[in-house]
């Protein structure tokens, strides 16, 4: 069944998103080297960031983010900078606020359009998920170490984006929604881990090299908003072709049906969205099972996390919704960016809308039942919170259910 003709409003929003995000200009060039200690859920790393002063005046310092130090979403994980250098000169970088802000002073002011090279040594520890869940109810499981998987969202010092109208984008991490607004950047990342472990990322693997009992994996990702990394043990990883895209699944062996179902659904979604919105911007898409909390799925450029609990019944209709929604984020967020704190409805609303188109395409009128239930959910929330609107920023929503009702279903 052909999708309904809803495209004109969506395209108008896409144009608005493109205008908004393009104002941030180009991002940075990251060169990262990581050594993973899977058994302890920890890692050490080095990072070189090359950046051009985007302001119209002199630049005296650079703001970076250490997102995993937030008390929200990332659990009890940590990320610490051991040393910082700018243009070969050691500097003292100050961690401020809740520990997610790192201010790097520049030894000398840098002129507009001047190049800046910052080098870090850092280490971190993922949240403890050895018992299959985090220690905090606010933990998404996106920066977590369980017996079979290590998810490493924002595992590195991440340069804050610059908006020429408002300055540096430095929103705190809130208990609801997504935490990271960022400009697209280029990444070269090496990950050294024990042989036998599987390493998946937002980038494409371009080489492997044995290093004693370990393997060094090299990844490249260009023009992406973030670099996600997942290390797994005992998972089954399979790749299938979906048009010109390699869809790679990595799931527990007991969830092989979920892996196959996810690959099929992702291929169908890539084809439909490619027809409706334009080609998928990458050549690979990884779908990885993880023991998530408070989320059924989480999107990153070129990589999707699917909650472990939902993999027990992959033929449940909601499993289809998860895959359809997260694949849609490869257009709405990954390709067309937005400020996920100030305007979360732009990517979440469009991803939800896209998933409705997918359900209608796949199931016909049966897919309309999800749309009806989502509309009812939104209307009930709006009646309870008449002061809120779909376009409200994240901090105005009192809880996750209200956030979901307005941002996902109202949007």
| pLDDT in the model for residue 24 | 56
Residue where the block lists tokens 């995000």: 21
Question: What DSSP string describes 47-101?
Answer: EEEEEE--SSS-EEEEEEE-GGGSSSBSTT-EEEEEEEEETTEEE-PEEETTTTE
Structure tokens at 225: 């908003």
Q: Tell me which H or E stretch contains 223.
A: strand 214-224
Average pLDDT over residues 22-28: 66
Position 367 scores a pLDDT of 78
pLDDT tops 90 at residue 127: yes
Lookup result for tokens 């509309």:
375
- Give 240's contacts (C-beta < 8 A, 6+ positions apart): 246, 247, 249, 263, 267
Residue 259 CB: number of other CB atoms within 10 A?
25
Q: What is the crossing angle of helices 344-363 and 368-384, to 10°?
A: 150
Dihedral sign (CA 42, 171, 139, 323):
negative
pLDDT per position as a tens digit, 193-236: 999 999 999 999 999 999 999 999 999 999 999 999 999 999 99
Whether residue 21 has pLDDT greater than 70: no
Place of tokens 């990589």: 303
* Rounded distance between C-alpha atoms, residue 360 and residue 371, angstroms: 10
pLDDT in tens, 146-170: 999 999 999 999 999 999 999 999 9
Q: Percent of the chain having pLDDT more than 90?
A: 87
Instruction: State yes or no: pLDDT of 3 exceeds 60.
Output: no
Phi/psi of residue 275, nearest 5 degrees: -70, -40
pLDDT in tens, 299-345: 999 999 999 999 999 999 999 999 999 999 999 999 999 999 999 99
In angstroms, how far is the first alpha carbon of the chain from the final one?
A: 24
What span, in angstroms and rounded, lies between the C-alpha atoms of 43 and 21?
Answer: 32
State the Cα–Cα distance between residues 146 and 293, nearest whole angstrom.
12
> What is the pLDDT, as a whole number, of residue 369?
84
| Topology match between the domains 7-20+237-410 and 28-160+184-233 | no
CB burial class (10 A; 0-12, 13-18, 19+) of residue 135?
exposed
- Residues constituting the chain: 411
Q: Which residues are bridge partners to 163 per DSSP?
A: 167
Query: What CATH architecture does domain 7-20+237-410 belong to?
Result: Orthogonal Bundle (1.10)
CATH number of 28-160+184-233: 2.60.40.1730
Cα dihedral 142, 144, 150, 154 in deg (nearest 10): 50
Provide the pLDDT for residue 39: 97
Residue spans of beta strands (DSSP E) within 153-244: 158-159, 162-163, 167-168, 185-194, 198-201, 204-211, 214-224, 229-232, 236-242
pLDDT band at 401 (very low <50, low <70, confident <90, very high): very high
Please report, for residues 29, 137, 231, 293, 383, the alpha-carbon distance to residue 75 in angstroms, rounded to integers and kept in the order given: 28, 8, 18, 10, 33
Give CA–CA dist 295/137, Å, rounded. 12
Nearest to 292 by CA among 164, 100, 127, 54: 127
As a whole number of angstroms, the distance between CA 338 and CA 360 comes to: 26
More confident residue, 10 or 136: 136
Break the chain into its structural domains and give their ranges: 7-20+237-410, 28-160+184-233
- Please give the Cα distance from 189 to 181 (Å, whole number): 21
CB 191: neighbour CB atoms within 10 A?
A: 26
Q: Are 357 and 370 in contact, with CB atoms under 8 Å apart?
A: no
pLDDT of residue 196: 96
Query: What torsion do the CA atoms of 137, 352, 153, 278 make, to the nearest 10 degrees?
Result: 180
Residue 1, pLDDT score:
36
> What's the rounded mean pLDDT across residues 348-354?
97
Least confident segment among 4-18, 77-91, 112-126, 224-238 = 4-18
284-290 and 245-251 strand pairing: parallel
Above 60 in pLDDT, residue 23? no
Please state, in angstroms and rounded to a whole number, the distance separating the CA atoms of residues 294 and 317.
19
Q: Strand pairing partners for 185?
A: 224
């Amino acid at each position: 069944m052909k999708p309904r003709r809803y495209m004109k409003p969506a395209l108008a929003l896409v144009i608005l998103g493109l205008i908004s995000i393009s104002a941030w200009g180009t991002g940075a060039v990251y060169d990262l080297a990581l050594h993973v200690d899977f058994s302890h859920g920890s890692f050490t790393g080095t990072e070189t960031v090359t950046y051009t002063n985007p302001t119209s005046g002199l630049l005296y310092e650079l703001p970076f983010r250490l997102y995993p130090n937030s008390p929200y979403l990332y659990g009890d994980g940590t990320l610490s900078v051991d040393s910082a250098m700018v243009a070969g000169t050691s500097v003292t970088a100050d961690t401020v606020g809740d520990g997610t802000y790192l201010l790097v002073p520049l030894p000398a002011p840098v002129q507009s359009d001047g190049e800046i090279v910052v080098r870090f040594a850092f280490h971190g520890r993922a949240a403890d998920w050895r018992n299959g869940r985090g220690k905090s109810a606010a933990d998404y499981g996106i920066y977590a170490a369980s017996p079979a998987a290590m998810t490493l969202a924002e595992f590195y010092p991440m340069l804050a984006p610059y908006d020429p109208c408002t300055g540096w984008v430095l929103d705190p991490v809130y208990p609801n929604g997504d935490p990271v607004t960022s400009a697209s950047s280029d990444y070269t990342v090496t990950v050294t881990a024990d042989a036998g472990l599987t390493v998946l990322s937002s980038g494409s693997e371009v080489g492997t090299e044995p290093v004693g009992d370990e393997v060094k994996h090299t990844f490249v990702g260009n023009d992406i908003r973030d670099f996600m990394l997942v290390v797994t043990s005992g998972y089954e990883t399979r790749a299938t072709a979906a048009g010109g895209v390699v869809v790679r699944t990595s799931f527990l062996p007991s969830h092989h049906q979920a892996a196959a179902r996810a690959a099929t659904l992702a291929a169908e979604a890539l084809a439909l969205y490619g027809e409706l919105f334009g080609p998928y911007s990458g050549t690979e898409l990884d779908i990885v099972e993880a023991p998530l909390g408070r989320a059924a799925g989480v999107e990153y450029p070129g990589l999707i996390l699917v909650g472990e609990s939902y993999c027990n019944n992959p033929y449940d209709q909601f499993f289809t919704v998860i895959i359809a929604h997260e694949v849609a984020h490869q257009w709405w967020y990954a390709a067309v960016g937005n400020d996920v704190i100030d305007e979360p409805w732009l990517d979440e609303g469009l991803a939800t809308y896209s998933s409705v188109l997918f359900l209608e395409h796949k199931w016909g009128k049966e897919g309309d039942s999800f749309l009806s239930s989502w509309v009812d959910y939104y209307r009930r929330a709006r009646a309870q919170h008449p002061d809120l609107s779909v376009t409200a920023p994240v901090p105005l929503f009192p809880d996750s259910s209200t956030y979901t009702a307005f941002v996902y279903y109202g949007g």
